[in-house]
Amino acid sequence: MTAVIGLSAVVMAVQDDRTVVLTVREPGQSAGLPFGLFDPDGDRTFELALRRFVTAQTRFDLGYVEQLYTFGDLGRDAPLADTGQKAEDRAARVISVGYLGLTPQAIDTHARNSYWSDILQFFPWEDWRDGCPAAVAALESPLRLWAGPTPPRLDRIRLLFALDGSPWNEERVLERYELLYEAGLVPEATRDRGETLLTQRALPDSILGEAMISDHRRILATALGRLRGKLKYRPVIFEMMAPEFTLSALQRAVEAVVGMTLHKQNFRRALERTDLVEGLGRRDQDTGGRPAELFRFRREVLGTRPVSGLSLPLLRDEASET
Amino acid sequence: MTAVIGLSAVVMAVQDDRTVVLTVREPGQSAGLPFGLFDPDGDRTFELALRRFVTAQTRFDLGYVEQLYTFGDLGRDAPLADTGQKAEDRAARVISVGYLGLTPQAIDTHARNSYWSDILQFFPWEDWRDGCPAAVAALESPLRLWAGPTPPRLDRIRLLFALDGSPWNEERVLERYELLYEAGLVPEATRDRGETLLTQRALPDSILGEAMISDHRRILATALGRLRGKLKYRPVIFEMMAPEFTLSALQRAVEAVVGMTLHKQNFRRALERTDLVEGLGRRDQDTGGRPAELFRFRREVLGTRPVSGLSLPLLRDEASET
DNA sequence: TCAAAAGTGTTATCCTTACACCCATGT
DNA sequence: ACATGGGTGTAAGGATAACACTTTTGA
């Protein structure tokens, strides 16, 4: 009646307009998340354990941290830890508790096998900043093939992948990944079933995304979806910003996370109303055109009054031709 | 390195304008949530295990279910399962995964020691339908005493308990409970420390709420906060309604969950826009005054298009004199 | 006929959307 | 001077909040 408890960390940052995640890659293997076992006799809390081993594995100190989800299902919904076992082999069942961490500095001491990876490497269909991504276009016909002409599946792919005029919902990252898994399209699906059915012929990683160890891509999808949702009702984006930033840099960071382009002035007007940032009078000279004013996050408002996140006034130009 | 994994279920329903939760009470003990151990060798998924033992313990079949949070901290943040051990005794550490379940029918086969309890029994300060509840008024001075005159704690109690003109935020149920715990006001706090410091003299249960076994009251607080938040962005309230209902009944159900009074017409207008309900032409004769039209939830929209929850147009009459 | 609850109309205000334009700097 | 990004004004439309009012039943 006992189980092993694992902790997985999704540590995210924004770097050059791309959302990146801290990954660990053993030579010759798929990428994975920083992962460690929880020691019930030694660790007082999950969070402390997490901070400890993330620092050990990546020499990186976590800042903002929150619990995501606990993955414990057997079979195709959440396979065993990647020890090469079949799902039927229940010798060493691992329950894994996923955590999300945010940090402003992706540029950091790389230790051993840890790297920052662009999340689009794993979810190429999640970036709509330059209109409908190539991956979605390429996935449309395999998805329709899987769905067939009947409502239940068809409605689902329409809703999740913005087909037939459905609007794109950036938060449903996990549901999209799970659908691709269910459709047997992502490599993990066939891998977890022990090399069984190949429903579709293989598509390149540039469309399906790169596979990860164990159920780490599922955990990553959970994290991205949660972060995208949370931006709107908590000012978490500032956990990913340097202490001083320009409004454009802030907007580009939000865009990188959300994967959509925002309307500049409406973004600023909404931001102004929240009173979350404060101009510093000084300007950033390195922007290319006119120097931009520097701002800082007024962290002090957090304790003082109810704060919501940022509104996301979408730009509907080339960004949507569904 | 192994641990025992427990599953706790918060099953909620609305009954006679009160939000109720399924509790289990051994004679002579505090109330608890339906709780069971997860068997890594026998249970394929958390959810299946949960459904199994909830039915076994309460003869009740779960409908809607979602994972809440995994509680694994030692010490004052989440004590051991209630075996009477001190926090220092780490012999049988239990990690517990909390689940939220919703159901329309609280009136159901009571088995053995299971009962539906009003949540206000555990959180008397959470109901603002008749203005500021007596519990909040009574808690104000002990809280101020604990906070002292300095910003950090003072800001926190103001924000959480709507003091000094702060608006009440119904979602922060967990934070309020944790603050009361931290302040040593709720019985669990002193109990978990092994009968140590009694910061304040005792207040009656009608103000502090009834204690629960282990960390079950913390889990219940998490559930209530999550449900209150979720109502606004997912149509989950319908999981707590009978197939046919009047709009007033729906509004009263939302009010019971949220603990606040809503503006009738604005609630209806907003509901109408969502297209989530459909009039049936028939009327309910038993309302007392004029018969009300019966409606049903258009569950079919769920798969077809993006759906949000209900907006909560608050009524600010007697309901707020903070 | 009156209480009780259902159900409706209307307005002021605010927020969101969308459009077009001006400003400051480096090359 | 002009390209580049920073920064602003304003008007239309829709959602929200707050008013007060009519309708239909049972006692």
Q: What average pLDDT does range B216-244 have in this prediction?
A: 96
pLDDT at A66 over 80: yes
Collapsing DSSP to helix, strand or coil, B193 comes out as coil
Helices A173-182 and A151-161: crossing angle in degrees, nearest 10, is 140
Q: What's the per-residue H, E or C state across chain A?
A: CEEEEEEEEEEEEEECCEEEEEEECCCCCCEECCEEECCCCCCCCHHHHHHHHHHHHHCCCCCEEEEEEEECCCHHHCCCCCCCCCCCCCCCCEEEEEEEEECCCCCCCCCCCEEEEEHHHCCHHHCCECECCHHHHHHHHHHHHHHCCCHHHHHHHHHHHCCCCCCCCCCCHHHHHHHHHHCCCCHHHHHHCCCCCCCCCCCCHHHHCCCECCCHHHHHHHHHHHHHHHCCCCCHHHHHCCCEEEHHHHHHHHHHHHCCCECHHHHHHHHHHHCCEEEEEEEECCCCCCCEEEEEECCCHHHHCCCCCCCCCECCCCCCCC
pLDDT at B283 over 60: yes
Which nucleotides of strand D lie within 7 A of protein CB? 3-10, 15-20, 23-26
**A46–B305 CB contact, under 8 Å:** no
So what's the pLDDT on residue A320?
38
The residue of A39, A66, A95 whose CB has the most chain B CBs within 10 angstroms, and thus the best one to mutate to test that interface, is: A95
So what's the pLDDT on residue B108?
64
Q: A245-249, B87-91, B171-175, B261-265: which range is least confident on average?
A: B87-91
So what's the pLDDT on residue B85?
42
So what's the pLDDT on residue A295?
96
Q: What is the rounded distance in angstroms from the CA atom of residue B113 to the CA atom of residue B235? A: 32
**A72–B5 CB contact, under 8 Å:** yes
CB < 8 Å to B3, chain A: 2-5, 38, 40
Q: Which of A243, A248, A252, A232 is nearest to A310 (CA)?
A: A232
What ranges do the domains of chain B cover? Answer: 2-119, 134-208, 236-321
Collapsing DSSP to helix, strand or coil, B308 comes out as coil
pLDDT in tens, A179-204: 999 999 998 887 776 655 555 457 88
Q: Is the CB of A246 under 7 A from strand D?
A: yes
> What separation, in Å, do the N-terminal and C-terminal C-alpha atoms of chain B show?
50
Q: What average pLDDT does range A276-294 have in this prediction?
A: 88
pLDDT at A91 over 80: no
Q: Is the CB of B290 under 7 A from strand C?
A: yes
Q: What is the dihedral of CA A194, A200, A201, A207, to 10 degrees?
A: -100
More confident residue, B15 or A88: B15
Q: What's the per-residue H, E or C state across B266-288?
A: HHHHHHHHHCCEEEEEEEECCCC
So what's the pLDDT on residue A80?
41
* Other beta carbons less than 10 A from residue A227's beta carbon: 24
Collapsing DSSP to helix, strand or coil, B319 comes out as coil
Q: Which amino acid is at B64?
A: Y
Q: What is the rounded distance in angstroms from the CA atom of residue B166 to the CA atom of residue B157? A: 10
pLDDT confidence tier of residue A110, bands split at 50, 70 and 90: low
A252: its two tokens? 């580009």
pLDDT confidence tier of residue B198, bands split at 50, 70 and 90: low
**A151–B303 CB contact, under 8 Å:** yes
Q: What average pLDDT does range B237-257 have in this prediction?
A: 96
pLDDT confidence tier of residue B193, bands split at 50, 70 and 90: low
Q: Which of B2, B85, B5, B83 is nearest to B45 (CA)?
A: B5
**A40–B2 CB contact, under 8 Å:** yes
Domain at B236-321, CATH class: mainly alpha
Q: What percent of chain B has pLDDT over 70?
A: 87
Instruction: Report phi then psi at A65, rounded to 5.
Output: -140, 140
So what's the pLDDT on residue B267?
95
| CB-CB contact of A308 with A234 (8 Å) | yes
> What separation, in Å, do the N-terminal and C-terminal C-alpha atoms of chain A show?
50
pLDDT confidence tier of residue A306, bands split at 50, 70 and 90: confident
pLDDT at B291 over 80: yes
Q: What is the rounded distance in angstroms from the CA atom of residue A100 to the CA atom of residue A222? A: 9
**B45–A167 CB contact, under 8 Å:** no
So what's the pLDDT on residue B81?
41
pLDDT at B321 over 70: no
* Other beta carbons less than 10 A from residue A204's beta carbon: 10
Q: Which of residues 230-269 of B touch strand C (CB under 7 A)?
A: 246-249, 264-265, 268
So what's the pLDDT on residue B317?
57
Query: Measuring CA to CA, how many Å separate B35 from each of A244, B9, B124?
Result: 48, 6, 24
What is the overall mean pLDDT for chain B?
86
pLDDT at B19 over 70: yes
Q: Which of B70, B89, B43 is nearest to A38 (CA)?
A: B70
Q: Is the CB of B93 under 7 A from strand D?
A: no
A 281-310 residues with CB below 8 A of B?
303-306
Residue of chain B whose Cα is closest to the Cα of A77? B45
pLDDT in tens, A118-134: 999 999 999 999 999 99
Tell which CATH architecture fits domain B2-119. Answer: Alpha-Beta Complex (3.90)
Q: What is the DSSP secondary-structure string of B108-173? A: ----TTEEEEEGGGT-GGG--BTBS-HHHHHHHHHHHHHH-SSHHHHHHHHHHHT-TTPPP-TTTH
So what's the pLDDT on residue A322?
30
So what's the pLDDT on residue B322?
29
What is the overall mean pLDDT for chain A?
86
CB < 8 Å to A169, chain B: 306
A143: its two tokens? 């998805």
Note the CA–C1' distance, B254 to D18, in angstroms: 21
**B1–A4 CB contact, under 8 Å:** yes
Does residue A167 belong to the interface with chain B, where contact is any CB pair within 8 Å? yes
So what's the pLDDT on residue A194?
61
More confident residue, A172 or B316: A172
Q: What average pLDDT does range A222-233 have in this prediction?
A: 96
| CB-CB contact of B119 with B19 (8 Å) | yes
A 80-119 residues with CB below 8 A of B?
90, 93, 95, 97
pLDDT confidence tier of residue B205, bands split at 50, 70 and 90: confident
So what's the pLDDT on residue A114?
86
Note the CA–C1' distance, A111 to C11, in angstroms: 65
So what's the pLDDT on residue A289?
81
So what's the pLDDT on residue A40?
82
Query: Measuring CA to CA, how many Å separate B167 from each of A299, B180, B213, B267, B316?
Result: 20, 19, 32, 20, 11
**A72–B152 CB contact, under 8 Å:** no
Tell me the whole-structure pTM to 2 decimals. 0.91
So what's the pLDDT on residue B103?
93
pLDDT at B127 over 50: yes
pLDDT at B91 over 60: no
Characterize the bridge pairing of strands A94-102 and A2-15. Answer: parallel
pLDDT confidence tier of residue B40, bands split at 50, 70 and 90: confident
CB < 8 Å to A303, chain B: 151-152, 155-156, 159
Q: What is the CA radius of gyration of chain A?
A: 21
Q: Is the CB of B120 under 7 A from strand C?
A: no
| CB-CB contact of A291 with A284 (8 Å) | yes
CB < 8 Å to A41, chain B: 1, 90, 93
